[in-house]
Amino acid sequence: MSDPSPKPRIAVGADHAGFHVKEAVKRFLHEQGYAIQDVGTDSEASVDYPDFARQVAEKVARGEAELGVLVCGTGMGMAIAANKVPGIRAAVAHDALTARLARQHNDANVLAIGGRVLDEAAALAIVREFLNAQFEGGRHQRRVDKISALETTRPETEQAARSGNH
Ligand code: RB5
């Protein structure tokens, strides 16, 4: 019989500011038996974080990985970039509770963390919490569906929004 809940495949990526934490995350994921796809970067030489956010986000969006972990200086640039890819819900977390709630309530499929704001131990605790949490569905599914709908919705004009005429 097949494993009813196989471990998710994880795509990881970082820029120069997140490289050292990405390497620690990779070691942790490897020890835990996760299949890892590393899109780079491979050193602390300066690179542009959107290039790596895009690669991880597109792997998740295409279904080549179930979840992604991105590391830059703060996590912010990675999350902003990854969230431009349809189907991606990237969450910045600097603490374990936020990471857990991002999965439970927001069905986040990408975790963005900051190599300049977290030490390795804190980063690993956040990753562990994110991976161990499950989306709770229910009322949260309705809200996540509304987020997804924004991907194909044109912005209302200011007048329509005010009049409720839509
Ligand atoms: C790179 O210096 C830095 O701007 C980047 O890692 C990230 O923190 C952006 O959000």
Q: Give the DSSP letter string of 84-134.
A: TSTT--EEE-SSHHHHHHHHHTT---EEEEETTT--HHHHHHHHHHHHH--
Fill in the amino acid letter for 126.
Answer: I
Q: Is the CB of 110 under 6 A from ligand 1?
A: no
Atom of ligand 1 nearest to the CA of 116: 8
CA 140 to chain centre: 18
Q: Which of 66, 75, 63 is nearest to 123 (CA)?
A: 75
Q: Is the CB of 49 under 6 A from ligand 1?
A: yes
Q: Give the burial class of 70: count Cβ atoms within 10 A of its Cβ; 0-12 exposed, 13-18 middle, 19 or more buried.
A: buried
CA of 119 to the centre of ligand 1 (A): 16
Q: Is the CB of 8 under 6 A from ligand 1?
A: no
Q: What is the pLDDT of residues 129-138, one digit of tens each?
A: 999 999 999 9
CA of 48 to the centre of ligand 1 (A): 8
Q: Is the CB of 28 under 6 A from ligand 1?
A: no
Q: Is the CB of 52 under 6 A from ligand 1?
A: no
Q: Spell out the domain ranges in the chain.
A: 10-135, 137-166
Q: What is the pLDDT of residues 101-135, one digit of tens each?
A: 999 999 999 999 999 999 999 999 999 999 999 99
- What pLDDT sits at residue 154? 83
CA of 77 to the centre of ligand 1 (A): 6
CA 129 to chain centre: 13
The protein residue whose alpha carbon is closest to atom 3 in ligand 1 is: 73
Residue with the two structure tokens 């490289």: 19
> What fold, for 10-135?
Ribose 5-phosphate Isomerase B; Chain: A, (3.40.1400)
- What pLDDT sits at residue 157? 74
Q: Which of 62, 54, 67 is nearest to 111 (CA)?
A: 67
Q: What is the pTM of this model?
A: 0.93
